[in-house]
Chains A and B, each alone.
Chain A
Amino acid sequence: MSEILTTPLTSSRRSARPEARQARAGAILVSPAVILLIVILILPVAVAFVLSFSDYTLGRDRLTWVGFENYADIFTRSSYRKMIVATVLYVVITVPVSVGLGLGAALLIRSLKIGQSLYKTVYFLPVMASLLAMAIVWEFALHPTLGIVNRTLALGCGSPLELWPWYARSCADGFPLWLGDRDYALWTLAFIGIWQSFGFNMVLYLAGLTAVPRDLYGAAEMDGVRSGWERFRLITWPMLGPTTVFVLTITTIRSFQVFDTIEALTHGGPAKSTYVMIYAIYEKGIAQNLVGLGAAITMLFLGFVMLISVAQRRFVERKVHYQ
Chain B
Amino acid sequence: MATVQLHEIEKSFAGTDVLKGVSLDIADGEFLSLVGPSGCGKSTLLRILAGLETQSSGTVSIGGRLVDGLRAADRDLAMVFQSYALYPHLTVAENIAVPLTMRRLSGAQRLPGIGSFLPGSRALRREIATTVREAAEMLDIAHLLDRKPGQLSGGQRQRVAVGRALVREPAAFLLDEPLSNLDAKMRVHMRAEIAQLNRRLGATFVYVTHDQAEAMTMSDRIAVMMEGELLQVGTPDALYDHPADIRVAQFIGSPAINILPVETDEAGVIRLYGAQTGFRAGSARIEHLGVRPEALMPCDDGELLSGRVRLIENLGSDLFVQLDVPGMLRPVTLRLPPSARGRVRPGDLMHLRVDSDRIVGFDAGGKAAPLLRAEVPAHV
Contact = CB atoms under 8 A, between A and B. Distances in A.
Interface stretch (B79-87, B133-141, B241-249, B347-355): B79-87
A47 interface: no
B86 to A, nearest CB: 8
Interface stretch (A6-14, A36-44, A213-221, A270-278): A213-221
Interface residues of A, number: 21
B151 interface: yes
B83 A223 contact: no
A224 B99 contact: yes
Interface of A is mostly: helix
Contacts of A227: 107
Interface stretch (A107-115, A127-135, A233-241, A252-260): A233-241
A158 B150 CA distance: 62
Question: For A221, A224, A226, which residue has the most chain B Cβ atoms within 10 angstroms?
Answer: A224
A317 interface: no
B63 to A, nearest CB: 17
B85 A215 contact: yes
B47 A218 contact: yes
B89 A219 contact: no
A323 interface: yes
Contacts of A241: 89
A218 B81 contact: yes
A323 B151 CA distance: 6
Contacts of A238: 87-89
A213 B88 CA distance: 11
B52 interface: yes
A15 B181 CA distance: 46
B98 interface: yes
Nearest to A237: B89
B164 A223 contact: yes
A222 B88 contact: no
Contact of B81 (A215, A224, A230, A323): A215
A244 to B, nearest CB: 13
Interface string A16-60: 000000000000000000000000000000000000000000000
Nearest to B81: A215
Across the A-B interface, the 5 shortest Cβ-Cβ residue pairs: A224-B102, A219-B85, A215-B85, A322-B88, A238-B89
Interface of B: 47, 50-52, 71-73, 77-79, 81-83, 85-89, 98-99, 102-103, 107, 110, 148-151, 164
Given A216-B87, A227-B107, 19 more contacts: A213-B83, A215-B85, A218-B72, A218-B79, A218-B85, A219-B81, A219-B85, A219-B86, A223-B102, A224-B99, A225-B102, A226-B73, A230-B102, A230-B110, A234-B87, A235-B87, A238-B88, A238-B89, A323-B148
15 contacts: A215-B82, A218-B47, A218-B50, A219-B81, A219-B85, A221-B51, A221-B52, A222-B52, A222-B72, A224-B73, A224-B99, A224-B102, A226-B73, A230-B110, A322-B148
